[in-house]
Amino acid sequence: MIKRFLILAALSAVSVPASAVQKPAGSADSAASFGARENVLDINLSPDGKTVAYIAPRSGQGNALYTVDLATGEPKVATAADGKPLRLSSCNWISNDRLLCRIFAYHKGAGEIVVSSRLIAVNADGTGLKLVSQLPGANALGSTQYGGGVIDYLPAEDGAVLMTRVFIPEAKIGSIIEKRDEGFGVERIDTRTGKTKLVEPAKLEAAEYITDGRGNVRIMGMMPRKGDGYAGRVINYFYRSAGSRAWKPLGSYDVLTGAGFNPYAVDPDKNVVYGFKKKDGRLALYSVLLDDSLRGELVYAHPSVDVTGLLQIGRQRRVVGATFATEKREAVYFDKDVEAMDKALGKALPGLPQTQVLDASLDGSKMLVWAGSDVDPGHYYVFDRTAKRLNKILLARPQLDGVALAPVKPVSFRASDGVSVPGYLTLPPGSAGKKLPAIVLPHGGPEARDEWGFDWLAQYFANRGYAVLQPNFRGSTGYGDAWFKDNGFKSWRAAVGDVVDAGRWLVSEGIADPAKLGIFGWSYGGYAALQSNVIAPDLFKAVVAVAPVTDFKATIDSARGYTNFLIEKERVGSGPHLREGSPAQNVAMFKAPVLMFHGDYDFNVEVSQSRLMAGRLRDAGKKAELIVYPGLDHQLDDSTVRADMLRRSDAFLRASMGM
């Protein structure tokens, strides 16, 4: 049994000087500048629009919650976590003077990496720190690492929220007193007094609840378990009619294939739930009327790509639009007022074509806005709609202020089977783009895609003189079922084949010097980097893989102790591709030297996968090096470590390419 995660005493609610926040390096060390964690990890605007709260990094994996009075510009630290192991994940206002924060930690238990989370509340001035998560009692028949999640911030109430909770039954030998509640439920919690009220009783197979933003739970998702206790792949959704407590069937959703309707947000005025469903093999946004008719309506579909995001605004999370990515991320608005404001922001910030409204005051008069581009990591502004004034408050990456960054160009290239593959090309600033050292940089996931904009990895290597190509290979999401194939595991040949063809295109176009072509990938991207050496061992002269998947069977086995084991097993699949698609099973094919990095607290991809790969390569007489960072997780979320990883990668690539 894993020890209950006690965290309140480990957090400090004392004043910390603003100088503790990481500052620009002030040196020519590009690895330190590009490797520095983003200066704003989470940011929100108070309900009255007078104060901003944001999480900023500190040394190591630590971070701190700052509140800034917009009238004075004076920052204060409300609380901080040292990253050993506690870290702040997000903080949201629950009144004008109080915030609710999620904190989490990676730790080792029973021989495996465990992630625990808890919720705390704290006043903006650092006082009133209180643990909000409801922990199992001393007589609990189990434990939970999940500290709950906020599903409604109850804007009309002062400091109260609706939270999900995992209920654990309790019993004591020799006593008739017991608690039988078990499963997933919802409570109303007053974060000032700690008083709770049961809103939705625990249900053993419940997996999700969605409210209308006014304190009413309207949607519930149930995920039936198999006889062995593992979760099934289908979520059955239920709804409540307005004013009713009775649950009625809404539909089902397959988490593996994406078939069915996946609800996201309820609009109480229209009495509809918004969600995503496939149309012609691509995700589209639909609304469903929450009455007996269950009348569905197509809200927006794009003819070429998936519609993947909802635009929600304000503390009620009102739906105002949807987003999708073609070559660049775009938005379609359903609210004409918000659309007009977005256009006005675009005119006011002509050099920053990407804008996003992150938060709003309760009355909507003030907006928290982010704006950036491919050559600008971003700025944060507060927009006063009444005064029509836009005030810059923070830089996303002050370490890069004044550094020349490289424009990102959407491109496409022909794969070996004639299919056109989209991607993004970043050339060194001022470069003519010919006969350069070059890197193919496949994304992770594989259920993900790259988008146009600032990317710290691509920009670092461009700064160091490399051309960088990021291919959205087959198996990427965002382009519909036909492009996703059977995912990047079962369809690894198509995915890795596209990655290899990205390198060949760089050479054929004269962009890359064929003797100076390398590949760098993280997570699944690290897998693709390694497996590219199996199918095209002469193409890349150096391989860098961060936290890579190296063995498909090991990936399945690592999920065996979790409820999603059957889903993961089916996702990766079975058959000959488990061996053929695993680089650790095919080291004899390798010719290029390999450098790998991994954190030994990686929950996503166990460090054992890199150790297996390094051992197999060395046993086969291949050149391989593995750098393991103690106490670091999948993201290597430490500025010093990231800088070290960048320096070592650049030096390795240059040495391997004879530069």
pLDDT digits (tens, 9 = 90+) for 276-286: 999 999 999 99
369 and 426 co-located in one domain: no
608 and 479 co-located in one domain: yes
Structure letter (DSSP) for residue 231:
B
Q: Rounded CA gap, 1 and 230, in Å?
A: 18
Residue 222 pLDDT class (50, 70, 90 cuts): very high
What are the structure tokens assigned to 411, written together? 């491109």
Residue 178 belongs to a domain: no
Write the CB contacts of 446 (distance below 8 Å, at least 6 apart in sequence). 475, 476, 487, 488, 489, 495, 524
90 and 105 co-located in one domain: yes
Q: What is the pLDDT of residues 432-444, one digit of tens each?
A: 999 999 999 999 9
Q: What is the pLDDT of residues 101-159, one digit of tens each?
A: 999 999 887 778 889 999 999 999 999 999 999 877 777 777 788 999 999 999 888 89
Is the pLDDT at 20 greater than 50, yes or no? no
Q: What is the pLDDT of residues 484-524, one digit of tens each?
A: 999 999 999 999 999 999 999 999 999 999 999 999 999 99
In the chain, how many domains are there?
Answer: 3
380 and 477 co-located in one domain: no
Residue 333 belongs to a domain: no
Is the pLDDT at 25 greater than 50, yes or no? no
Residue with tokens 């620009």: 24
Which residues span the domain enclosing 359?
A: 338-403
Q: Rounded CA gap, 564 and 632, in Å?
A: 24
Residue 256 pLDDT class (50, 70, 90 cuts): very high
366 and 426 co-located in one domain: no
Residue 310 belongs to a domain: no
462 and 388 co-located in one domain: no
Domain boundary among 378, 403, 428: 403
399 and 464 co-located in one domain: no
Question: Global pTM?
Answer: 0.92
**N-terminal to C-terminal alpha carbon distance within the chain:** 53
Domain boundary among 145, 167, 189: 167
Q: What percent of the chain shows pLDDT beyond 90? A: 82
Please tell me which residue, 110 or 424, carries the higher pLDDT value: 424
350 and 387 co-located in one domain: yes
Q: Rounded CA gap, 176 and 30, in Å?
A: 66
Strand 296-300: give its sheet, edge to edge: 262-267, 272-279, 282-289, 296-300
- Number of alpha carbons in the 13 Å side-chain half-sphere of residue 27: 7
Residue 32 belongs to a domain: no
What are the structure tokens assigned to 556, written together? 């399945």
58 and 41 co-located in one domain: yes
Is the pLDDT at 606 greater than 80, yes or no? yes
Q: Rounded CA gap, 310 and 329, in Å?
A: 13
Q: Rounded CA gap, 461 and 431, in Å?
A: 13
CATH code of the domain covering residue 566: 3.40.50.1820
Is the pLDDT at 19 greater than 60, yes or no? no
537 and 608 co-located in one domain: yes
pLDDT of residue 28: 54
Q: What is the pLDDT of residues 295-336, one digit of tens each?
A: 999 999 999 999 999 999 877 888 999 999 999 999 999 988
* DSSP tally for the chain: helices H, then strands E: 12, 37
520 and 650 co-located in one domain: yes
Q: Rounded CA gap, 442 and 609, in Å?
A: 19
Task: For residues 475-487, give the mean pLDDT.
Answer: 96
Q: Rounded CA gap, 389 and 426, in Å?
A: 35
Poorest-pLDDT segment among 202-216, 220-234, 243-257, 407-421: 220-234
Q: What is the pLDDT of residues 158-187, one digit of tens each?
A: 899 999 999 988 877 666 556 788 899 999
Residue 316 belongs to a domain: no
Q: What is the pLDDT of residues 53-112, one digit of tens each?
A: 999 999 999 999 999 999 999 899 999 999 999 999 999 999 999 999 999 999 887 778
Residue 505 belongs to a domain: yes
Strands 512-522 and 542-546: parallel
What mean pLDDT is reported for the chain?
A: 92
Q: Rounded CA gap, 611 and 1, in Å?
A: 27
Q: Prior bond to 85 cis, omega within 30?
A: yes
Task: For residues 539-555, give the mean pLDDT.
Answer: 97
Q: Among 292, 285, 278, which Cα is nearest to 250's?
A: 292
Q: How far is CA 168 from the centre of its chain?
A: 29
Residue 281 belongs to a domain: no
Q: What percent of the chain shows pLDDT beyond 70? A: 95
pLDDT of residue 12: 34
Task: For residues 519-541, give the mean pLDDT.
Answer: 98
Poorest-pLDDT segment among 10-14, 230-234, 626-630: 10-14
pLDDT of residue 135: 78
Residue 306 belongs to a domain: no
Is the pLDDT at 395 greater than 70, yes or no? yes
Kindly report the length of the chain: 659
472 and 507 co-located in one domain: yes
Inter-residue contact 596 to 626 (CB < 8 Å):
yes
Inter-residue contact 264 to 244 (CB < 8 Å):
no
Long-range CB contacts (within 8 A, 24+) of 427-431: 427/462, 427/467, 427/468, 427/511, 428/462, 428/463, 428/464, 428/465, 428/466, 428/467, 429/404, 429/405, 429/462, 429/463, 430/404, 431/465, 431/467
Domain boundary among 138, 167, 196: 167
pLDDT of residue 185: 97
pLDDT of residue 482: 96
Inter-residue contact 184 to 164 (CB < 8 Å):
yes
